[in-house]
């Protein structure tokens, strides 16, 4: 079996001025900037991407964005393109986060265009999928996750698919303090890996990192990260403070 390196990504959402970002990243570089057991990605708001990028230079920490537009340039007021992110040395980009889907009406088709554009520009997409509470209660979790995954990955070739990261984030667990049980999370993660086998190959499915997101905290992380198909976490709230984020990286290292 291929062993996948655990990945802990911090999704800072719309938090922190550049000055606040620098304080946090300074603490993170000092405590986890030299470890290589776990892949660590920080996704600050666009306004502090450059400052954070400079602060992590020479460390093992990587830079990601929270969104991007699929076109390379043009009349798209307020948007940011993949080449712009690459020019700041970003390596990852979160796409299809449930907050983008629900507050900004992003569809699977639109998200798919971004996935393809990110891959074309050598950015690693972190494609987010996940069901709402109503969908879980009506028994359609796997169906929803399947549709979002299949549509999000439409047109992605086998050669690039292995570099994808998928984040399973049950919408009802995001920012609510209600974490999915390990069984609930592992069930969906295994389902996604099975789906990747069907869409691509077993070898590809074994390489793709599938992260859990939704109220992951130092207290619940060890159990989640010990699951066979949980390869890391996409962390919102607990990524905003150095102490909790470092504890999550330590938990991921221990779960190797």
- Catalytic residue positions? 97, 169
With binding defined as CB under 6 A, does residue 236 bind ligand PGA? yes
Dist. CA 60–CA 33, nearest whole Å: 5
Q: Within positions 164 to 183, which residues make up the interface with ligand PGA, using CB under 6 A?
A: 169, 174-175
Query: Bridge partners of 126?
Result: 94, 165
Residue 213 C-beta: closest distance to ligand PGA, Å: 4
User: Is 243 exposed, middle or buried (CB count within 10 Å of its CB: 0-12, 13-18, 19+)?
Assistant: exposed
The residue at minimum Cβ distance from ligand PGA is 236
Tell which one of 89, 207, 237, 244 touches ligand PGA (CB under 6 A): 237
Q: What is the CA radius of gyration of the chain?
A: 17
Query: Bridge partners of 213?
Result: 234
Residue 256 C-beta: closest distance to ligand PGA, Å: 22
DSSP characters for 26-84? Answer: HHHHHHHTT--SSEEEEE--GGGHHHHHHHTTTSS-EEEES--BSSSSSS-TT--BHHH
Query: Bridge partners of 124?
Result: 92
**Site map for ligand PGA, 10-49, x if CB under 6 A?**
-x--------------------------------------
Dist. CA 7–CA 25, nearest whole Å: 17
CB 152 within 8 A of CB 195: no
Looking up tokens 């990110």, which residue turns up?
Answer: 118
**Site map for ligand PGA, 196-235, x if CB under 6 A?**
-----------------xxxx-----------------xx
Q: Which is nearer to ligand PGA, 11 or 48 (CB)?
A: 11
With binding defined as CB under 6 A, does residue 112 bind ligand PGA? no
Residue 130 C-beta: closest distance to ligand PGA, Å: 9
Q: Which is nearer to ligand PGA, 124 or 204 (CB)?
A: 124
- Which residues of the chain form contacts with ligand PGA (CB under 6 A)? 11, 169, 174-175, 213-216, 234-238
């Amino acid at each position: 079996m291929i062993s996948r390196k655990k990945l802990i990504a911090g999704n800072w959402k719309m938090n922190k001025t550049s000055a606040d970002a620098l304080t946090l990243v300074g603490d993170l570089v000092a405590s986890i900037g030299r470890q290589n057991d776990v892949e660590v990605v920080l996704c600050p708001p666009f306004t502090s991407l450059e400052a954070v990028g400079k602060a992590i230079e020479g460390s093992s920490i990587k830079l990601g964005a929270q969104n991007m537009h699929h076109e390379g340039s043009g009349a798209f007021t307020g948007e940011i393109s993949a080449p712009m992110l690459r020019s700041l040395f970003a390596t990852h980009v979160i796409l299809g986060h449930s907050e983008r889907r629900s507050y900004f009406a992003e569809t699977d088709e639109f998200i798919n265009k971004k996935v393809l554009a990110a891959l074309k520009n050598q950015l690693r997409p972190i494609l987010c999928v996940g069901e709402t509470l109503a969908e879980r209660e009506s028994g359609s979790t796997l169906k929803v996750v399947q549709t979002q995954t299949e549509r999000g990955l439409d047109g992605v070739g086998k050669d690039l698919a292995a570099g994808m990261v998928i984040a399973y984030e049950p919408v009802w667990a995001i920012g609510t303090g209600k974490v999915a049980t390990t069984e609930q999370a592992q069930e969906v993660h295994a389902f996604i890996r099975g789906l990747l086998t069907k869409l691509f190959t077993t070898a590809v499915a074994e390489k793709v990192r599938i992260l859990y997101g939704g109220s992951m905290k130092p207290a619940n992380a060890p159990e989640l990260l010990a699951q066979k198909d949980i390869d890391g976490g996409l962390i919102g709230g607990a990524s905003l403070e150095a102490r909790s984020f470092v504890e999550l990286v330590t938990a991921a290292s221990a779960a190797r």
